[in-house]
Amino acid sequence: MGPAPQMLAQWQHIVEHLARQMDDPAKFMQQVVRLYGTGEYSEDELHLRDGRIISRRSVPFKCEGEDFGRIWIYTDGTEAWNAKIDALTGLRNRRAYARYFPEFAQAADDGMIKAVAIMDLDNFKAYNDTYGHAAGDGVLRRIGALLSPPIVGDEMAFRIGGEEFLIACKNQTEGGVIAFFESIRSGLTTAAIPHSGNGSEKVVTASLGLALFRGPQDPGSLFEAVDLALYQSKSSGRNRMTLAH
């Protein structure tokens, strides 16, 4: 015997009310409809219109016959999410990197070219020594602004160290990936932030190591390969990008 009609109506009213609170109501409803009647466990994050971040878990349980019911668990994770944001740049921090980068690296092949780059500001200690740490913080905030607009969807940018950033993205072509990262490097140079201690450049620049790949990769090995490419960029004169082998 199925649920009473009034219970179904009440359930639908609650779900529709929840959907209206979401940034993407259609995506919220799509997941609810897809999961009902399956034995799949699900966990994801929901972004509300008021800025809150809600963690959603869905646990199946056996009903009559072969059907499944579901238990939905919603937890306000706004504070925990904010703890993954670097306060200075507004980018994701090292804690978020440890959570999300392995997922990106190990994800199955979806037909797209995946890319990971480590970007390090050139001679940044000399910048802080010359202009002061307050000015250095200002540069880091500008880096956050430079990386924030193009980083959407599956693309991610993390501040993983003092002046070191890791950026991950997808593209349909190798040329598109390389152009994306080259625009970041050249965009910083074009900003022409004075830096008298940066060799002949005399402005703030950055060096990058970049890896392109398809399908799942070991996160640790991937990071090491990109870090080595970054070292090669630094030793070859800085303000350039090197492709990892």
Catalytic residue positions, numbered: 163
DSSP character for 48?
B
> What tokens does 73 get?
């668990």
Residue 53, phi then psi, degrees to nearest 5: -115, 120
What are the contacts of 226-233 at 24+ separation with CB within 8 A?
A: 226/116, 226/117, 226/118, 226/166, 227/118, 229/118, 230/118, 230/119, 230/120, 233/207, 233/208, 233/209
Distance of alpha carbon 216 from alpha carbon 168, whole angstroms: 14
3-state secondary structure (DSSP) of residue 207: strand
Residue 151 identity: I
